[in-house]
């Protein structure tokens, strides 16, 4: 798998020494849901960015969907983005799993994983959709499938730091990398609520109206 860029970059388009195209962009966040009901075997992550015309929502050239891969990362910045975070792979799976990028046209790129009924085998992402300039969406049945712990023992994020997300798409059709970054923080006008559920045995974090930000450093290890 191609190495995933994790360095902090400004929200701009850069040409690397190898000639590949890398784009970092802040994008608005419609919602972020992190559900932890591990005691009942239920964990879920949902992220949606939606716009009428935001060039930051991008996935590169159309072509062979098998040449796409990516990650989704969420993390508290409160504690230096080291202990409260989750990391997901969004790539074609081994033959024993069904997850794969199934479409890559001008209008949409789509990943689907029929095996993701539960988070197991290191493939928790159920669906990912990128509609350039319009929609970026990730749904996973877990809080992370490599690195991180997804623990909410630290409580809610601070009002200023909030929760950050990075959705990365690597596209081998044009050798491009696109990182779409959002922050959900109450001081920035977002709604962020962490509440206990399931009789105190679980937690649910809900973020709404996330704001575009320059992409921060990633807490996730290289997959």
Say what the pTM is.
0.87
CB burial string 101-121: b at 16+ within 10 A, e below? beebeeeebbbbbeebeebee
Report d(CA 54, CA 38) in Å as an integer.
Answer: 36
State the pLDDT at residue 58: 97
pLDDT classification of 15: cutoffs 50, 70, 90: very low
Write the DSSP symbol of residue 53.
S
Compute the average pLDDT of residues 49-69.
96
Q: Which residue in 8, 7, 11 sits closest to 28, CA to CA? A: 11
* 164 pLDDT more than 70: yes
Contact 139, 127 (CB under 8 A): yes
Counting every residue written for the chain, the total comes to 223
- Distance CA(84)–CA(157), nearest Å, equals 9
When comparing pLDDT for 122 and 138, which is higher? 138
Q: Which two tokens stand for residue 50?
A: 């939606």
The Cα–Cα gap between 180 and 40 comes to 32
- Predicted confidence band of residue 97 (pLDDT cuts 50, 70, 90): low
Higher pLDDT, 91 or 164: 164
């Amino acid at each position: 798998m191609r190495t995933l860029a994790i360095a902090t970059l400004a929200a701009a388009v850069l040409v690397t020494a190898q000639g590949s195209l890398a784009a970092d962009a802040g994008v608005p966040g419609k919602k972020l849901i992190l559900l932890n009901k591990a005691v009942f075997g239920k964990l879920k992550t949902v992220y949606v960015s939606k716009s009428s015309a935001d060039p930051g929502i991008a996935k590169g050239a159309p072509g062979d969907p098998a040449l796409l891969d990516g990650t989704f990362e969420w993390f508290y910045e409160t504690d230096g983005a080291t202990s409260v975070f989750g990391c997901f792979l969004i790539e074609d799976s081994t033959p024993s799993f069904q997850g794969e990028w199934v479409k890559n046209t001008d209008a949409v790129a789509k990943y689907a994983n029929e095996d993701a009924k539960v988070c197991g085998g290191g493939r928790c992402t159920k669906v990912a959709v990128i509609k350039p300039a319009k929609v970026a969406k990730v749904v996973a049945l877990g809080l992370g499938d490599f690195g991180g712990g997804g623990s909410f023992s630290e409580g809610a994020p601070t009002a200023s730091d909030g929760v950050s997300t990075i959705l990365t798409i690597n596209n081998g059709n044009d050798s491009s990398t696109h990182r779409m970054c959002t922050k959900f923080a109450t001081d920035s006008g977002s709604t962020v609520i962490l509440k206990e559920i399931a009789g105190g045995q679980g937690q649910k974090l809900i973020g709404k109206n996330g704001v575009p930000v320059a992409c921060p450093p990633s807490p996730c290890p290289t997959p």
